[in-house]
Amino acid sequence: DTAVSQTPKYLVTQMGNDKSIKCEQNLGHDTMYWYKQDSKKFLKIMFSYNNKELIINETVPNRFSPKSPDKAHLNLHINSLELGDSAVYFCASSLKATGDYGYTFGSGTRLTVV
Amino acid sequence: EDKVVQSPLSLVVHEGDTVTLNCSYEVTNFRSLLWYKQEKKAPTFLFMLTSSGIEKKSGRLSSILDKKELFSILNITATQTGDSAVYLCAVRGRTTDSWGKLQFGAGTQVVVTP
């Protein structure tokens, strides 16, 4: 059983479109995250939700809007896609936000904006 | 701002060699340092280090943390082609600003040739 699953795995879309990426975890974790990995392989946090509540909101354009309908799901909606949004987006979860807990990552969504 | 610097950025070794990867960090109120291995897709967890001088081992991999000098090393002995991957170092602070947030380094690309 996949612990953290993301869909779709690949997404190719035109500039200006709106798209969503979905994430689900079956680990019973309280906290979920979105990370962006650019072409230089840097993983940078975008958002974190703890029990459906937004706790981390880094400097991300407001075209990006996360939504957490329950603590097992964290979706990412992106409006008006730009070329610079092309990257791999990783969802992750941890048991709790505080404390010494590692992350479990999903397998990533490769977004290509053309 | 918190900073994580990994070195070298990449290296190529022969099977059987030993590699040492470095990670230096600056983080407000350090809590823990984590190592991940990233092959094609999701980063997979290797180690979490919170205390200085205590080596963690898993098979041919080991890691140690020096909180005074603010660095960690990851050793891989008797390397195999399956060790080829990007190795990521990440740190976590303990302030409320850094709830669950991992600050990643750029990674070290390791290529093991037969």
Residue B96 region by backbone torsions, left for phi larger than 0, else alpha for psi between -120 and 50, else beta: alpha
Distance from CA of B70 to the nearest CA of A (A): 18
Q: How many residues are recorded in chain A?
A: 114
Interacting residues of A53 by C-beta distance below 8 A, sequence separation 6+: A68
Interface A–B counts its CB contacts (< 8 A) at 60
Q: What is the mean pLDDT of chain A?
A: 92
| Interface membership of B19 toward A (CB under 8 Å) | no
B99 contacts A50? CB cut-off 8 A: yes
Percentage of chain A exceeding pLDDT 90: 75
Pick one of 2.160.20.10, 3.40.630.30, 1.20.140.10, 2.60.40.10 as the CATH number of A4-113: 2.60.40.10
Q: Which residues of B touch A97 (CB under 8 A)?
A: 99-100
Confidence (pLDDT) at A1: 65
Of B34, B38, B101, the CB nearest to A102: B34
Of B38, B45, B104, the CB nearest to A102: B45
**What would the pLDDT profile of B36-83 be if each residue is shown by its tens digit?**
999 988 999 999 999 999 999 999 999 999 999 999 999 999 999 999
Residue of B nearest to A103 (CA): B45
Confidence (pLDDT) at A14: 97
User: Residue-wise pLDDT tens for chain A (114 aa)?
Assistant: 669 999 999 999 999 999 999 999 999 999 999 999 988 778 999 999 998 888 888 878 999 999 999 999 999 999 999 999 999 999 999 998 877 788 899 999 999 999
Domain boundaries, chain B: 3-113
Please report, as a single letter, which amino acid is at residue B56: K
Domain boundaries, chain A: 4-113
The CATH number assigned to the domain with range B3-113 reads 2.60.40.10
Two tokens at B54? 């205590």
